[in-house]
Amino acid sequence: MASSKTASRIDAFSTYVGNTVAWLTLAMIAVTFIVVLLRYAFGIGAVWMQESVVWMHGAVFMLGAASTLQREEHVRVDIFYRNLSDIGQAWINVIGVLLFLMPFSLFLMYASYDYVAASWAIGEVSRDAGGLPYPLLPLIKSVLLLMPAMVALQGLSMLVIAIRRLRARHLPSAGTTRRNG
Amino acid sequence: MEWVGALLFLAVILFLLAGFPVAFTLAGTGLLFAFAGVIAGTFEAAFLSGLPSRVFGIMNNETLVAVPLFVFMGITLERARIAEDLLETLSSLFGSMRGGLGISVTLVGMLLAASTGIVGATVVTMGLLSLPTMLKRGYSPEIATGTICASGTLGQIIPPSIILVMLGDVMSAAYQQAQLAQGNFSPRTVSVGDLFAGALIPGLLLVGLYVAYLIGVAIVRPKTMPAHVMEPGKTVSLLQVINALAPPLILIFAVLGSILGGKATPTEAAGVGAVGALLMALQRRALTLERLRAIMRGTLSVSSMVFMILIGASIFSLVFRGYGGDDVVREWLHALPGGVISAMLLVMLLMFLLGFVLDFIEITFVVVPIVAPILLTMGLDPVWLGIMIAINLQTSFLTPPFGFALFYLRGVAPPSITTGQIYRGVMPFIALQLFALLMLALLPQLVTWLPEKIYG
């Protein structure tokens, strides 16, 4: 069983990636603004710039998924959840990680492997003329493996934290009530 | 095996209610049913082989790039405290009128909706900002809470709301599918711009109804919303009014105008709008590096949340379709006596009820792709259907005991406000919503006129 040290290392890793990738949101805005400016002020179309905004967007939500999980910002239907005790919530998280999150992440990784490998193997390039050069497209497709890998890791951290909370239930309250995230 | 589709749908609702994050519950439930089906020999494993290209398709969806950009713009405006200034200025402008503060809150809700489009945030901001002031000035708790909840949910319907962007994307796919199914191989299209144009008149109609209601109450029961006596010297100058109102208004008109005028795509307008919002924040000296990081972080979280739900929903839909679930829904809807009218009524009722447990995002990505192609095949207009769904869900989010808006407001309301008062307060607004729905049903031109005028 992974220790709580592992959990905090995973949390730190997800947070680091999330905070770094977050800068891309600013870049998306800057590039969109420049694209509009070039088009309307100078009549220049920049396909690769326009395309790059779409790819940055994909990278943002895929690579940010784990840190969003860590921050408890993936929305829950919480009509019942919010009224549960700490223990009840921990149980939901244990079951949810094992039954939903892990199968999803592992299956997506398994299913995407050939898809991503094929893209690297054939040296895939953008369909649009003037689009992004090789190897950016295979690189972006690789996010299909990175996202589930990071989400699975963050799920592991969530599991460790929830189990620690369940184990601590018989002990006198010892700072175990802090919520994940 | 059709019953498996129904079972899958029931199971996902139950699992969602347990409270694990929606995105993973949708994906996981779908996959569990698929695995079980593969083992039992009732589900073709080949259905799942398209999964990577589907997820990649979501990463590659150009229409939806507008979502994070609008979110960035909205969060920036929120951090720049635009709402506070607007409310303060408008209420000192109208506050000395009976009911003036209530009307100000409605108008700020409208402007905020147009600039942020995030429902929870709007209700919370308005609740924190205006509820204490309204109570202090002697407004009855019912009127105060009802006004805040209702104006807070305007964000779904008043363009440029991110919900309309998502709904526009889903509707456009559904419309293609419906026309192809009818043998039309050069199908007409529907865009996010169409939905924005279609939502404009109904959105303003709702605001008009709210304001008319507040004026009515102010006349009939003046004690529930008294006029505020301004302290001398505390009146606002015209310059202050312009200062508070002009920047957000210019931003909204520029963003909406360029989309509706066909000058820019929603994505481009959102990008430029976000730059505008950053400039506004800079001009107010409300932009620090720390705040910029928080804005980017917030944008990342909201987009991850939204798009992971889209991924989860698309896995769920894949499995649902694999079990023939959508065929069952089609048969049911076609078998209803009364044709398209009763099918529409049933779908609206179902969505209203689902709105108690599911958010707009889930309903848009899970339910709309199943039912919209069927309803569109029956001859409904896609823009009209989209707006009806949006207002219907907005009403659902206002309806006790499960409406989301009520929970958000409850979370920030002082304990002296009872939940019963909030419930009683929103009742008249629910009636207004239903009235608006009825009007749009009888006069679809209210929705379809503007898009046709603009886009032909």
Mutation target for B interface from A51, A67, A100: give the one with most B CBs within 10 A. Answer: A100
Residue A144 and residue B56: Cβ atoms within 8 Å? yes
Band of residue B26 on the pLDDT scale cut at 50, 70, 90:
very high
Average of per-residue pLDDT across B311-336: 90
pLDDT at B85: 82
Q: Which residues of B touch A57 (CB under 8 A)?
A: 59, 64-65, 68, 303
Q: Are the beta carbons of A57 and A137 closer than 8 angstroms? A: no
Q: Is the peptide bond before B248 cis (omega within 30 degrees of 0)?
A: no
Radius of gyration of chain A (CA): 21
Best to test chain A binding among B56, B72, B292, B396 (most A CBs inside 10 Å): B56
Respond yes or no on whether the N-terminal peptide bond of residue B160 is cis (omega within 30° of 0). yes
Instruction: Give me the pLDDT at residue A175, please.
Output: 45
Instruction: Select the more confidently predicted residue: A44 or A62.
Output: A62
In angstroms, the CA A109 to CA A103 distance is: 10
Q: Between these two residues, A3 and B189, which has the higher pLDDT value? A: B189
């998502």: which residue's tokens? B166
End-to-end CA distance of chain A: give it in Å, rounded.
Answer: 21
Q: How far apart are CA B225 and CA B31, in angstroms?
A: 54
ipTM of predicted assembly, 2 dp: 0.91
What tens digit of pLDDT does each residue of B264-319 get? 899 999 999 999 999 999 988 888 999 999 999 999 999 999 999 999 999 999 99
pLDDT band at B225 (very low <50, low <70, confident <90, very high): confident
Residues of A in contact with B31 (CB under 8 A): 103-104, 107
Task: Please tell me if residue A53 touches chain B, with a CB cutoff of 8 Å.
Answer: yes
Query: Mean pLDDT in chain A?
Result: 88
The chain B residue lying nearest A112, using CA atoms, is B52
DSSP string, B266-294: HHHHHHHHHHHHHHHHHHTT---HHHHHH
Helix (H) or strand (E) holding A151: helix A143-167
User: Does B436 or B404 have the greater pLDDT score?
Assistant: B436
- Residue A177: pLDDT above 80? no
Residue B254 at interface with chain A, using a CB cutoff of 8 Å: no
Global pTM value: 0.89
pLDDT reading at B348 higher than 90: yes
Closest CA to A19 of A70, A55, A58: A70
The percent of residues above 70 in pLDDT, for chain A, comes to 89
Percent of chain B with pLDDT over 70: 96
DSSP annotation of A173:
P
Cα gap B436→B207, rounded to integer Å: 11
Least confident of A102-106, A123-127, B325-329: A123-127
Select from B332, B328, B345, B369 the least CA-distant residue to B176: B369
More confident residue, B454 or B66: B66
Residue A174 sits at φ, ψ, to 5 deg, of -135, 60
Q: Look at residue B196 in the predicted model and tell me its pLDDT.
A: 92
Nearest Cα to Cα of residue B433 among B179, B202, B168, B138: B202
CA nearest to A93 within chain B: B20
Using the CB atoms, write b or e for A104-135: b if 16+ within 10 Å: bbbbbbebbeebbeebeeeeeebeeeebbeee
* Confidence band for A178, pLDDT divided at 50, 70 and 90: very low
Q: How many residues does chain A have?
A: 181
Q: Does B314 touch chain A (CB under 8 A)?
A: no
Q: Tell which of B300, B306, B366 to mutate to test the A interface (max A CBs under 10 Å).
A: B300
For B60, nearest residue in chain A (alpha carbons): A54
Phi, psi of A135 (to 5 degrees): -100, 30
User: Residue type at A11?
Assistant: D
Query: With bands split at pLDDT 50, 70 and 90, how would you rate the model's confidence at A179?
Result: very low
Q: What CA–CA distance (Å, rounded) separates B396 from B382?
A: 21
Query: How far is Cα B361 from Cα B167, in angstroms, rounded to an integer?
Result: 9
Helix, strand or coil, per DSSP, at residue B64: helix
Q: Is A77 in contact with B357 (Cβ distance < 8 A)?
A: yes
Q: In this predicted structure, what is the pLDDT of residue B116? A: 60
Q: Give A-chain residues touching B21 at CB under 8 angstroms.
A: 69, 74-76, 96, 101
Average pLDDT, chain B: 88
C-beta contacts of A130-136 below 8 A and 24+ residues apart? A130/A47, A130/A48, A131/A47, A131/A48, A131/A51, A132/A48, A132/A51, A132/A52, A132/A55, A136/A55
Whether B283 and chain A come into contact, CB under 8 Å, resolves to: no
Q: Decide if pLDDT at B125 tops 70.
A: yes
Burial label for B153, CB within 10 Å (0-12, 13-18, 19+), is buried
What is the maximum alpha-carbon separation in chain A?
A: 70
Higher pLDDT pick, B287 / A177: B287
- Asked if A179 is an interface residue toward chain B (Cβ–Cβ < 8 A), one would say no
Indicate the range of A2-11, B60-69, B221-230 predicted with least confidence: B221-230
Query: For residue B401, what is the nearest residue in chain A, using CA coordinates?
Result: A79
In terms of pLDDT, which residue wins out, B439 or A128? B439
Cα gap A79→B404, rounded to integer Å: 9
pLDDT confidence band for B443 (50 / 70 / 90): very high
Q: What is the DSSP string of B24-56?
A: HHHHHHHHHHHHHHHHHT-S-GGGGGGHHHHHH
Q: What is the mean pLDDT of residues B115-126?
A: 68
pLDDT tier, B389 (very low <50, low <70, confident <90, very high otherwise): very high
Lowest mean pLDDT among B89-93, B131-135, B169-173: B89-93
**Distance, C-alpha A63 to centroid of its chain:** 4
Cβ of B308 within 8 Å of Cβ of A93? The answer is no
* Nearest chain A residue to B303, by CA: A61
